Amino acid sequence: MAKTKTSKKRNRFSGAKMPTVRIKAGVKVSHHDPDKNLKNQDFIAKALFQCLIDGDTKGFKEILQAHLEAINISDLADKAGIGRRTIYEALSPKGNPSLNTLTKILHLTMKTAS
């Protein structure tokens, strides 16, 4: 079977090719800060609990990872005595964190968020 040829030249990215979206006149636009909700301890606790009730482990890990990125994973890893790599691997799609790891992460997360 013949080998497929691939181009060695990379395509350039141009911001000029991006579509322009115009907002209709009279439409009010407000500032949205996703970090505000991601740093909110009560909001995250409810979302994580709902994932546990629903049996949604993927959603649980995604919510926890977004929350940890908002509050700085490196600082939390140092305080918990867990390596950053361990946290990243545990929350990766193929990761399967132990209950002990989750407990340490959640304990410090909720402690530092308050």
Cα angle for residues 90, 92, 93 (degrees, 5° grid): 120
Residue 67 corresponds to which tokens in the numbers above?
């929350």
Look at the pTM and tell me if it is higher than 0.85: no
114 versus 108: which is more confidently predicted? 108
pLDDT of 41-50, one tens digit each? Answer: 889 899 999 9
Predicted pLDDT of residue 46:
93
Predicted pLDDT of residue 97:
84
Q: Return the H-helix or E-strand segment holding 4.
A: none
Given a cut of 60, is residue 114 above it in pLDDT? no
When the pLDDT of each residue in the chain is averaged and rounded to a whole number, the result is 82
Please say whether the beta carbons of 78 and 85 come within 8 A.
Answer: no
Nearest to 60 by CA among 88, 95, 91: 91
Predicted pLDDT of residue 1:
62
Q: How far apart are CA 64 and CA 69, in angstroms?
A: 9
